[in-house]
Amino acid sequence: MPNTDRIREKLHDVPHKPGVYIMRDRFGKVIYVGKARDLRRRVGQYFQPSRRRGWDIKFNALVDAIHDFDVYTVKSEPEALLLEGRLIKDYKPRYNISFRDDKRFLLIKVNLNDKIPRFALTRIRQDDGARYFGPFPSSVAVRRTMTILRSEFKVRSCRALVPGESDYKHCLYAHLEHCTAPCVGKVTRDEYLRQITDACEFLSGKCSEMENEFEEEMKKAAEELKFEKAARLRDALDALRHTTRRTQRYFRIPGDLPVSLEPERGLTELAEALGLASVPRKIEGFDISNISGTFVVASMVSFKDGIPDKSNYRRYNIKSVVGQNDFECMAEVVRRRYTRVLAEMDAAGCDNPPAGLRSGQVHDKADNGARSSRLPDLILIDGGIPQLNAAYLELEKLGISHIPVISIAKKLEEVFMPGCEQPLRLPRDNKALLLLQHVRDESHRFAHAYNAKLRMKKISESILDEFPGIGQKRKQMLLNRFGSIRKLRNASVEEISRIPGFGRKFAEALVGFLSTRAAASKPRGGE
C-alpha cells in the first residue's frame, strides 16, 4: 500500500508544470512512467480515494504497489512525450505497454558527404557522419514539414542512392520542377549543396521568414473566401511550428538510482551485513548472457560510492568456452578482467601499496601521469554457488582471493559467500540488498544489451556476405551503385560487369546466386 503520509508531503512540492512522473514499488523498482501537462494535478489523482470506484483492476493494482514517486519537469508537452518514451524504453515498467517495444520517434537525416544528398526519415540515429534533426513527437507534423521542405527548397526525394539519367526519365518531381535535378546536371553540386544547407537551417529553427509568408498567404486566402486553401496553409503552418520548435533531446536517464536507495547508507549496511573491515567504495559486478549457447557475452559494471561508474563498464566476447556453460564463462571473464588489472598495476609500479591505504587501493609511485588501476573492494557475481566458486577459484589463482566476492541468486534474492553453507537472507527493504540488486540488475542489463546488439548485427548482415569470393570493398561498391539488394537482383550481367574491377564471369556468378536465393525464399505452393 502507498505510504500516504510521506506521499502527501511530497505532493506539496510537486509543481504545476509539464513533465514526467515515475512510480516505484517498495524495492525502489520503477513500475510505471507517465507524462502530464500539470504534474501536481495528475500525480495527485493517483491518491484520491474518492476516484477509486471508477478504476479498473489493473489501475487499482498499480496504485496499491506504489511506494514512492519521482517527478521531472520539462519545458513543454512534446518534451514530456520524448522523455516519457525514453524512460519507458530504459526501465521497461511492468504497468506500461506503450514504447516498450522498438518503436522510436522519427528523425530527419541528411548526409552531406553523399554525391547527391537527400532528406529521409529514419528512427535510428547512427554514427555515420550524417546530420540528424529531431526526434519529433508528431509523425504527422514531420511528414507535412518534409513536403514543405521539398517544395520550397527543391531538394530531391527519390530513393536512389545516386540517381542517374534513367531515374530522371521517370521522375515526376523533376518534370514538375519540384526538384532541380542535380542528377542530370541541371544544377551543379555546389548549387545543390546550397539548397541543402538552406533546408538544414530551416530545420534548425531559422524559419521565421517562411512562417510569416505562410501566415500572410493564409490571411489573404481567408479574406478572398478561399477557405480550403486557408485551411491547408493553416495546417502547414501548424506542422511547421510543431516540427521546428526547439526541444530538449533525452539520451540518459536523469536519475539512475532508485529514490528509496540511499547509497551511503546502503554501503554502510552492506559492510555490516558481510562483516567487511571497511565500506566497499568500489564494487564490480559480473553477468553472463547467451541464447542457447550462441552470442555468449559477459559484462562487468563498476559502482563507485554506491553510484554507477559507467565510464568503467566493460563487455566481453567469450572466447574459450564452447556451448552453454555459464560457470566456465564466468571463470574466463573474471580471469581476463583481473589479469589485465594486475598487469596495469605492475606497469605503473603499484604492486606494493603502502600501509594505511584501504584494501584494494593502488598508490602511484611517481606523479608522472602513468596509468594505474584499482582492484575493487567487493566483487558481485550474478548467480548461485557454482558461479561464485568458479570466480573465487580464478581469484585464488591470481593471488587476489583476499578481495571479498559474493553472489546473489535471483529467485529468493539470497546472498552467497565462499565457505558459507547457508546463504545470507536480508530483509526486502534492506538498503544493502537494494544496492546489491541495483549492481546485479545493471550488470544484467548491460550484458543483455550487448547480446542483443550482436544478434541484430548478425540478422542485418547482407545476403552478399554469403556469396563466396566477395569482400567488403566489392560489396560496398555494389551497394553504392545499385542502392539496395532488391535493385541489385534486377540488375543484368552487363550492368554489373560495367563496374570497375567486376568481370563478366563474376557478374554471371553473382546474378545466378541472387536468383537462386530469391527462388529459395519464395513460399512453396500448397504450404
User: Which CATH number does the domain housing residue 72 bear?
Assistant: 3.40.1440.10
Q: Residue 54: its pLDDT value, please?
A: 67
Residue, of 523 and 481, whose pLDDT is higher: 481
Q: Residue 392: its pLDDT value, please?
A: 94
Q: Are residues 512 and 376 part of one domain?
A: no
Residue environment code for 349-378, b if the CB has 16+ CB neighbours within 10 A, otherwise e: ebeebeeeeebbebeeeeeeeeeebbbbbb
3 state SS of 471: coil
Q: Which range among 174-178, 251-255, 371-375 has the greatest average pLDDT?
A: 174-178
Q: Is residue 249 part of a domain?
A: no
* DSSP per residue, 45-114: HTT-GGGGGG--HHHHHHHHH--EEEEEE-SSHHHHHHHHHHHHHHH--TT--TT-SS---EEEEE-TTS
Q: What are phi and psi of 316, to 5 degrees?
A: -135, 140
Q: Are residues 82 and 181 part of one domain?
A: no
Residue 375 cell numbers, joined: 582492484
| Percentage of residues in the chain having pLDDT higher than 70 | 78
pLDDT band at 47 (very low <50, low <70, confident <90, very high): confident
Q: Are residues 211 and 183 part of one domain?
A: yes
* Residue 342 CB-density burial (10 A; 0-12 exposed, 13-18 middle, 19+ buried): middle
Report the mean per-residue pLDDT for the chain. 77
Domain final position from 91, 125, 156: 91
Q: What is the pTM of this model?
A: 0.45
| Percentage of residues in the chain having pLDDT higher than 90 | 14
Q: Which range among 47-56, 153-162, 261-270, 303-312 has the greatest average pLDDT?
A: 303-312
Q: Are residues 449 and 472 part of one domain?
A: no
Mean pLDDT of 162-178: 71
Q: Which amino acid is residue 419, in one-letter code?
A: G
Q: Is residue 403 part of a domain?
A: yes
Q: Residue 179: its pLDDT value, please?
A: 83
CA distance readout (Å), 68 to 190, 360, 460, 481: 58, 36, 42, 57
Q: Residue 244: its pLDDT value, please?
A: 53
Mean pLDDT of 432-455: 84
Round to whole Å and give the CA distance between 254 and 417.
Answer: 34
Q: Are residues 421 and 478 part of one domain?
A: no
Asked if 112 and 86 touch (Cβ cutoff 8 Å), the reply is no
Q: Are residues 300 and 387 part of one domain?
A: yes
Q: Are residues 425 and 282 part of one domain?
A: yes
Q: Are residues 162 and 76 part of one domain?
A: no
Q: Residue 527: its pLDDT value, please?
A: 31
Residue, of 212 and 499, whose pLDDT is higher: 499
Round to whole Å and give the CA distance between 505 and 498.
Answer: 12
Q: Which of 404, 397, 75 is nearest to 248 (CA)?
A: 75
Q: Are residues 414 and 288 part of one domain?
A: yes
Asked if 88 and 32 touch (Cβ cutoff 8 Å), the reply is no
Q: Quickly tell me which residue has 529531431 as its cell.
A: 134
pLDDT band at 100 (very low <50, low <70, confident <90, very high): low
Q: Is residue 117 part of a domain?
A: yes
Q: Are residues 468 and 443 part of one domain?
A: no
Predicted confidence (pLDDT) per residue in 225-243, tens digit? 877 767 766 766 665 555 5
Round to whole Å and give the CA distance between 283 and 165.
Answer: 62
CA distance readout (Å), 103 to 99, 222, 489: 6, 40, 30
Q: What share of the chain is helix, strand, coil (3-state, %, to 5)?
A: 45, 15, 40
Q: Is residue 136 part of a domain?
A: yes
Q: Residue 456: its pLDDT value, please?
A: 62
pLDDT band at 361 (very low <50, low <70, confident <90, very high): very low
Q: Are residues 449 and 319 part of one domain?
A: yes
Q: Which of 480, 469, 472 is nearest to 503 (CA)?
A: 469
Round to whole Å and give the CA distance between 206 and 198.
Answer: 9
Mean pLDDT of 133-149: 75
Q: Which domain holds residue 117?
A: 107-244
Candidate from 20-29, 211-220, 291-300 with smallest mean pLDDT: 211-220
Candidate from 10-24, 282-296, 301-315, 362-376 with smallest mean pLDDT: 362-376
Domain final position from 91, 123, 148: 91
Structural domain count, the chain: 4
pLDDT band at 458 (very low <50, low <70, confident <90, very high): low
Domain final position from 427, 455, 483: 455
Q: Are residues 296 and 377 part of one domain?
A: yes
Q: Is residue 102 part of a domain?
A: no
